[in-house]
């Protein structure tokens, strides 16, 4: 047996999928137009042939026959048709059924819109659960500014479909995405959007621009002004203050100069205290130096 798995280009996974078995079913991103993103470079979207997926599952079966969690790699594997995702789930059951694994992946809001509630229920029955959506913001103006390709209303509509199908989901929010002077608006509108929903977690990232991104070029040309680091603390504090949904707040990535985590509403006071204290103790210069030192997300 060839123990090598097929992976093309960059492979990313959320921090909470660290112990999950990775399985490539797509590579690259179908949208590839978000102005801030450089995660997949120039890599074009590709669907893995079913023969390739089955070959990888044979290897996984040999080494991890009782894997409890499979994470499908690629920017948004949930774009695949319900039939293809069903076939992949059945292959997973064939080779790793002993562990009765659940299946996670990244998804765009537009991927969900292509599926009916019945489609989603079928996928949930086959193991899909706790998918991850990089919504980045719940403010339509911010989403349009960075070319996410959907609105806050779309986020609400599609996540409610997931809830109706009993599929849990995690979100990511990108602090600083609205730019200088607009963080408070972004936080308040995003909280309004998220409060209509039941995300299992909201992961917090802070906008970190790299030279290959269109938004970096807009900064250089004076078309976009980045939020200061202290503004980002204020935005995050505003978001947490106004969130009414019960959810985990996860802020332990390299883009966060101060790591934090907690559950709302239980840990709201502690989170706010820790963030305010960090803002007081760390200067803008210290925080910006940290941001500039980040070489990769």
pLDDT at 43: 87
CA–centroid distance for 57 within its chain: 25
Integer Cα distance of 28 and 47 in angstroms: 9
Contact 207, 178 (CB under 8 A): no
Which domains does the chain show, CATH number per domain?
1-129 (3.30.750.210), 154-175+182-297 (no CATH)
Distance CA 132, CA 6 (A): 22
**Exposed/middle/buried for residue 149 (C-beta within 10 Å: 0-12, 13-18, 19+):** middle
Measured distance between the N- and C-terminal CA atoms of the chain, rounded to whole angstroms? 34
Query: Model-level pTM?
Result: 0.96
Q: Which residue, 219, 186, 242, 193, is CA-closest to 291?
A: 219
Residues 6 or more apart whose CB falls under 8 angstroms from that of 106 comprise: 12, 74, 75, 76, 77, 78, 131, 132, 133, 134
pLDDT in tens, 73-109: 999 999 999 999 999 999 999 999 888 899 999 999 9
User: What's the confidence (pLDDT) of residue 1?
Assistant: 62
Identify the segments of the chain with pLDDT beneath 70.
1-2
Cβ pair 59, 1 in contact under 8 A: yes
pLDDT at 45: 94
* Structure confidence by residue, pLDDT tens digits, 12-52: 999 999 999 999 999 999 999 999 999 998 889 999 999 99
């Amino acid at each position: 047996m060839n123990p090598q798995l097929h992976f093309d280009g960059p492979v990313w996974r959320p921090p909470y999928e660290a112990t999950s078995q990775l399985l490539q079913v797509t590579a690259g991103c179908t949208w590839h137009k978000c102005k801030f993103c450089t995660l997949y470079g120039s890599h074009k979207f590709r669907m893995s042939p079913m023969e390739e997926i089955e070959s990888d599952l044979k290897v996984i079966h040999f080494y991890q026959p009782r894997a409890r969690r499979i994470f499908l790699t690629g920017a948004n594997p949930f774009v695949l048709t319900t039939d293809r995702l069903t076939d992949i789930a059945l292959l997973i059951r064939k080779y790793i059924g002993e562990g009765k694994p659940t299946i996670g992946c990244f998804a765009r809001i537009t991927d969900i819109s292509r599926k009916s509630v019945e489609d989603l229920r079928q996928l949930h029955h086959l193991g899909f659960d706790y998918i991850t959506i990089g919504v980045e913001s719940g403010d339509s103006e911010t989403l349009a500014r960075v070319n996410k390709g959907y609105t806050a209303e779309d986020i609400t509509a599609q996540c409610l479909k997931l809830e109706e199908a009993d599929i849990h989901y995690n979100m990511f929010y990108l602090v600083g995405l609205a730019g200088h002077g607009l963080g408070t608006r972004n936080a308040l509108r995003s909280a309004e959007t998220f409060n209509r929903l039941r995300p299992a977690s909201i992961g917090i990232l802070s906008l970190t621009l790299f030279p290959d991104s269109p938004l970096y070029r807009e900064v250089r040309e004076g078309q976009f002004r980045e939020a200061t680091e202290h503004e980002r603390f204020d935005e995050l504090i505003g978001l947490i203050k106004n969130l009414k949904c019960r959810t985990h707040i996860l802020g332990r990535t390299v883009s966060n100069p101060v790591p934090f985590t907690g559950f709302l509403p239980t840990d709201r006071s502690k989170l706010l205290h820790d963030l305010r204290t960090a803002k007081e103790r760390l200067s803008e210069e210290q925080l910006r130096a940290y941001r500039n030192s980040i070489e990769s997300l």
